[in-house]
Structure 1
Amino acid sequence: MSEVVRDPKLPERLLVTERDALMPLLRRAPERAFDLPTACPDWSVRQVLAHCGAALTRISHGRLEPGVFSPESNASDVAERDSWPLAAVLDELERGMSQAGAVIAARSDGILDLVALGEWIHAGDVRESLGVPGAYSGDGIGEALALLVIASRRRKTPRLHATLPDRQTPLLLGVEIEGRPPARLICTASTLIRLYADRPLADSHYELTGAQERELHIFA
């Protein structure tokens, strides 16, 4: 398997790009929109955003104690922000998207790089709930796909050749499994994100051979 050379600035570029695209949308959305459900079970739009802001604040402030980012830790962070004014939740998120990237880049192990991908996917969750077209294919899709390749290899999903009609370059994801030929997938970039992130596929069209959808999921 060929190694992917780490670009330490990639997560920061994705976070800043997403900040500039998402925050104006959130600032002008009516307050009732933040109560809408999302693809994340039991979490509203507001709670997804609270989780995103809390995660980035932890990174920015170096609060990465054992157990951080576990379901229990995430739930606790969201509950802590339930009493905050909505504006405070949005302010924290914007600060985190502005500041966390530099901290992620400074870590030579790259262990936090995929947090940026998770934040971008959660932004897609929010856009989908708000009815924004192209929820998982907006600004930053190129950076998101690059991080998805890394995520698929770290999670050891099956080797897969992806042909994306809306992108010029095919992608090679996952790792080789002895005795198993690579799977093949034809789909749009947004459908690729949905498949690997285990998000609703709605009316997405794709052709997958040699693997099952559940084998591609990068979030346990």
Structure 2
Amino acid sequence: MGRTPRWTIPLATLTTLTLAVTIGAATAADATPSGIPSTSTAQAQLDALTVAPQGSTSGYSRDLFPHWITISGSCNTRETVLQRDGTSVVTDASCAAVSGSWYSPFDGATWYAASDVDIDHLVPLAEAWRSGANTWTTSRRQAFANDLTRPQLIAVTDDVNQAKGDQDPATWQPSVYSYRCTYAKMWIAVKYHWSLTAQASEAGALQTMLDTCTT
């Protein structure tokens, strides 16, 4: 907690970059998750969400949402998102990111070590459980936990992700105010696609965030 982002690349990292670039490299063309709807679409999706009291976490376990799964070759979901959301990401033969940079839109920090970055489940697994995923099959929960088609997975500062925990937008929002519009649209899109419910305070917070959108 309270670490200062590293804004310069240390010599050791530059050396690693030189050595690893011959092993494999992936440069992100777009560090934004796919499937973020327009404001008008997000509004329609928010209006269509079922508003209901939040369910219980009874029986919940992260193990009921298997992740990270293999996506391609030796790359799992975490490694795939690190490559997608990073800039000039270099990977080794096992697909582990050995260098690159990652901008965390939640807090505006930039990091130069993959270990400083978490892959956030935008709609937390426990939140999904309380919103209807408790009735899903394990295979459906696995698909949710590794969803690269909707804006459900994003690389962010690890401490920020841990502080967010399993909170919904009624109690946690990105500190970068200008990102709250996007955050709301992402959250709405995920809940809408996966037919998850929203409690009244959550829906109200999403509407307030959506009202900040200028486009």
TM-score grouping bracket, smaller chain normalisation: under 0.3
Identify, as 1 or 2, the structure richer in helix.
Answer: 1
Bigger relative CO (Cα 8 Å, ≥ 6 apart):
2
Identify, as 1 or 2, the structure richer in strand.
Answer: 2
